Amino acid sequence: MKLPRSYVGSMLIVGILAGCGGDTTGPDPQDPALSSVSGNNQSATPGQALANPLVVLMAQDGSGVSGKTVSWTVSTGGGSVNPASSTTDNSGMASTQWTLGPDAGPNSLQASGSGVTGSPVTFAATGVSDDPAPLTASISVGDNFFDPNSATIGAGGTVTWTWAGSGTHNVTFASGTNQGNQSTGTFVRGFPDVGSFAYSCTNHSGMTGTIVVE
């Protein structure tokens, strides 16, 4: 859109006058400004603390401002912060630790200060549920190794070993059901209890494996 020259000129004058102190509603341009430094967009298990702290910077004319209070308030997700209020250090930085709420999904938080521009600063984080361990695992019995030699299952799950090599091997635990020597076929064992269960083929030194039950 092309505006008449006289209109543009008058708008410029209005703008300059407004910049000279006519505006009393917003923060003054010379006020310190709050901005995000690090910690945004992390994820963690619901109910757990994020790995890294949230950090904001209070700056004025390019320099950090110390001794300013920053308030940290959880907006959504139902988590918590510690501390809920912190004071900027000599470099103008303030930080807190954010523990996410109990459910998977988005969480948000605001860092705010009074009499500063850029406030509040919004942080986001995501609660991500741990994948439950699978209830089955398959292990190949080779010559002379178990592949994989470590497997993780949920309590109550089962593991199936399948003889894939040409030699004769067994699956021997310290206790519970074992499989004697064979050169073909399978062996299935259930694991009702949490723990780490080592086993071996007693025919071959170093032919060992572990079942981890979570």
Shortest Cβ 182–Cu ion spacing (Å): 10
Complex with Cu ion: residue 73 or 203, whichever CB lies closer = 203
Does 207 interact with Cu ion (rule: CB under 5 A)? yes
Q: Output the CA–CA distances (angstroms, integers) from residue 192 to 130, 143, 158, 170, in the order listed.
A: 21, 29, 9, 22
Q: 193: burial class by Cβ within 10 Å (0-12, 13-18, 19+)?
A: exposed
Shortest Cβ 196–Cu ion spacing (Å): 21
- Chain residues 145-204 in contact with Cu ion, contact rule CB under 5 A: 169, 201, 203-204
- Residue 34 in tokens: 């709050």
Shortest Cβ 175–Cu ion spacing (Å): 20
Complex with Cu ion: residue 128 or 145, whichever CB lies closer = 145
At 18, give phi and psi (nearest 5°): -65, -35
Number of residues that bind Cu ion (CB under 5 A): 6
Give the position of tokens 């019995």: 141
- CA-nearest of 69, 71, 75, 79 to 109 is 75
Complex with Cu ion: residue 64 or 142, whichever CB lies closer = 142
- Interface residues with Cu ion (CB under 5 A) are 144, 169, 201, 203-204, 207
